[in-house]
Amino acid sequence: MAGERSSPDTVSDYLDQNPRLAQWTDTLRGFCETNKQWVARREFILRNIEGFPTVEPGVANSSLDRLLSLSMVWSNHVFLGCSYPPAVMEKIKGMGEGIVVHDARVQKATADGVVSRGKRSAGAMEGDVDACVKRARRDQSEHDGRPAGRTSQRPAGQKSGPSPQAPAENQPFFNRLYKAVAWKLVSAGGFGPNLDHFEILRSCVESCKQTLTCVFVPLKDIMGLPAGRTQKEGHVCEIRCQTVYLGTGYGRDESAAKAMASKEALKVFQGRKVTVKICRRRYKGKDVEDLMLLDEQPRSQAFPPALSYPFQKEQLDASS
């Protein structure tokens, strides 16, 4: 995409032709970014990714951190009116050339408002950029009403959602788990109703040096049940691993609910691969971003409501 003037439609077409890249870029969106801010910053990332040869989708490294920091500096300047040293402004101007942002707060400054104060050495410019990374994050925090000095894009004292890097960080583990489950099912004669689904899932997870987390809630206490479920007796079980949601099951007692949740979790491993994604779910009547393990099957129905939410230190309703 580098070197050409584009539009949101052009970017969308490009991502439609590169679905793997589209999935990865979605994990980079900031928790508090508006659609307009994210669409522009996403284009900035895509147009400049070729300038960072060691950046590989789904792999965290220093080059990716640098590219994301520069994209944040550019977005803060365009949408929040933040200013940075001339060398940094010159760098992000070049990197943002050709990106059209309508009704941006400082679009004119981005286009032609960079003031040069003489030539700087490459080393000095790089040093300025590095020095501005923390400031860029601080500016974004202050704009969103969060205390300055924190690098996380979450409210201080409360972790209200998975980090944008969480899918990429968790994917290698679930790739290993996928292989372990595949071999286990082959040895068991394939996926079927007569298997001990929980035992299979538990043994595979433990073979990968992790453990399962099971949360049980009485059925009568669940908000947002499917329309056809009217009974109030029984329990609901939710299974997670490394905070990633795997499956939900309903049963007359906790044991039956756990067995059904394990069966639903194992169904995800029947495809050609599994993918960790950030998805929207309901938790205690509120929409939240949750970390989920998905297969390649299209999903037209809403996800089951979350029974637990491991991405915060306080209950959501306590902050409302």
Same domain for 170 and 84:
no
What CA–CA distances, in Å, run from 158 to 307, 311, 318? 19, 8, 11
Same domain for 85 and 12:
yes
Residue 131: pLDDT band (50, 70, 90) is low
**Residue 144's pLDDT is what?**
42
pLDDT at 62 over 70: yes
Same domain for 138 and 25:
yes
Question: How large is the average pLDDT for residues 11-39?
Answer: 80
Specify if 160 maps to a domain. no
Specify if 154 maps to a domain. no
Q: Is 205 exposed, middle or buried (0-12, 13-18, 19+ CB in 10 A)?
A: buried
Q: Is 201 exposed, middle or buried (0-12, 13-18, 19+ CB in 10 A)?
A: buried
**Residue 138's pLDDT is what?**
52
Same domain for 201 and 137:
no
Contact 306, 288 (CB under 8 A): yes
For the chain, give the percent of residues with pLDDT over 70: 72
Q: Side chain identity at 172, as an amino acid letter? A: P
Q: Side chain identity at 179, as an amino acid letter? A: K
Same domain for 174 and 313:
yes
The boundaries of the domain holding residue 192 are: 166-318
Same domain for 300 and 177:
yes
Same domain for 73 and 217:
no
Residue 153: pLDDT band (50, 70, 90) is very low
| Lowest-confidence pick of 2-6, 38-42, 102-106, 248-252 | 2-6
Q: Which two tokens stand for residue 1?
A: 């995409």
**Residues 224-259, buried b or exposed e (16+ Cβ, 10 A)?**
ebeeeeeeeebbbbbbbbbebbbbbbbbeebeebbb
Specify if 310 maps to a domain. yes
Instruction: Tell me the pLDDT tens digit for each residue of 192-235.
Output: 878 899 999 999 999 998 999 999 999 887 765 555 555 567 89
Question: Could you say which DSSP state residue 77 is in?
Answer: I
Domain final position from 143, 174, 191: 143
Task: Return the CATH number at 174.
Answer: 3.30.160.20
Same domain for 95 and 183:
no
Specify if 3 maps to a domain. no
Same domain for 217 and 110:
no
Domain final position from 143, 176, 198: 143
Same domain for 220 and 296:
yes
Specify if 153 maps to a domain. no
Q: Quick one: CA dihedral 23, 27, 32, 37, positive or negative?
A: negative
Specify if 266 maps to a domain. yes
Residue 259: pLDDT band (50, 70, 90) is very high
| Lowest-confidence pick of 61-65, 77-81, 147-151, 214-218 | 147-151
Question: How large is the average pLDDT for residues 72-94?
Answer: 85
Specify if 235 maps to a domain. yes
pLDDT at 120 over 60: no
Name, of 86-90, 150-154, 258-262, the range with top average pLDDT: 258-262
Count how many domains the chain has: 2
Specify if 157 maps to a domain. no
Same domain for 41 and 121:
yes
**Residue 299's pLDDT is what?**
64
Residue 301: pLDDT band (50, 70, 90) is low
Q: Quick one: CA dihedral 101, 102, 103, 107, positive or negative?
A: positive
Same domain for 183 and 60:
no
CA angle 129-164-319, nearest 5°?
110
For the chain, give the percent of residues with pLDDT over 90: 28
**Residue 198's pLDDT is what?**
94
Strand partners for 281: 288
pLDDT at 240 over 90: yes
